[in-house]
Amino acid sequence: LEDAVRNADRLSTLGTLAAGLAHEIKNPLGGIKGAAQLLELELPTESELRDNVRIMLKEVERVNRIVEELLALASPRGLQLSKVNLHKVIGDILTLQKRSTEGKNVAFQQQFDPSIPPILADEGLLTQLFLNLVKNAMEAVDDGGCIRVASRVISDYSMTQKGERRSRMVAIDVADDGPGIPPERLEQLFTPFFTTKTKGTGLGLAICQKIVTEHRGMIKVESYPGKGTTFTVMLPLIQ
Ligand code: ADP
Ligand code: MG
């Protein structure tokens, strides 16, 4: 318990630091962005200088994203609980993401168990959780492939002491038929800043892990190199 308290303490200090740092970085970054946008307007459309300014703007966005993700990971925001319709949250994410794959050969499938009731959860955080997983799946299939999201009810014995009472959970699979993940890499996935992408931050899954833990749930990954990957999120049905 002492360890847990010390850890929580350390995390909240880290959260305060991260929040302060994020603020300090985002303000000057906004200044750089504004100035670069003005500069872009001054330069001829087809010029190397303008291309360079565009690169500056893209990189500014990248720093912005890292700061925001770091903030999401480090800040000890409490849960804002309400009754959340999981299927609506996920359905909305898929509808939006589908648009960004227009012209590509990416198929989206959803298989929801209609008997699953709303769960007590933080809707904003659940959106972030499933958006991160769906985005990873989209990045995995790249130009062509299939992304499937399914929900089902499972019984879990490991969550209860002595197993005398089983708890019901909802399990959501986010599966893709992308390249998969080599077994030796599976353990590192949830570590902050672990990424294999040139433009990745490596914070997405760490954030997912945090959100799931805060909801007293679990997240696991199963992957078959060459066949695909399935992330499964398990959340308590009755809290
Ligand atoms: P990022 O997406 O910024 O790289 P994440 O924390 O979201 O960071 O993911 C970490 C790493 O896990 C990725 O760089 C990738 O190597 C691996 N990964 C995550 N999801 C998948 C997936 N669906 N298929 C294959 N690899 C994945
Ligand atoms: Mg990611």
Kindly provide the ipTM of the predicted complex, given to two decimals. 0.99
Answer whether residue 30 shows pLDDT above 60. yes
Ligand 1: atom nearest CA of 231 is 23
| pLDDT range class, residue 49, cuts 50, 70, 90 | very high
Ligand 1: atom nearest CA of 206 is 6
Residue nearest to atom 8 of ligand 1 (CA): 202
Ligand 1: atom nearest CA of 203 is 6
pLDDT for the residue 10: 62
Distance 223 CA to ligand 1 centre (A): 12
Decide which of 9 and 186 is more confident: 186
Enumerate residues lining ligand 1, CB below 6 A: 132, 136-137, 140, 176, 178, 181, 189, 194-197, 200-206, 229
Decide which of 13 and 194 is more confident: 194
Distance 161 CA to ligand 1 centre (A): 33
CA distances from residue 29 to 9, 48, 53, 62 in whole angstroms, order as listed: 30, 23, 14, 11
Residue nearest to atom 23 of ligand 1 (CA): 137
pLDDT for the residue 239: 46
State how beta strands 218-224 and 105-111 pair: unpaired
Residue nearest to atom 19 of ligand 1 (CA): 136
Handedness of CA 186, 191, 195, 200 (dihedral sign): positive
**pLDDT tens sequence across 71-120:** 888 876 789 999 999 999 999 999 999 999 988 999 999 999 999 999 99
**pTM, rounded to two decimals:** 0.85
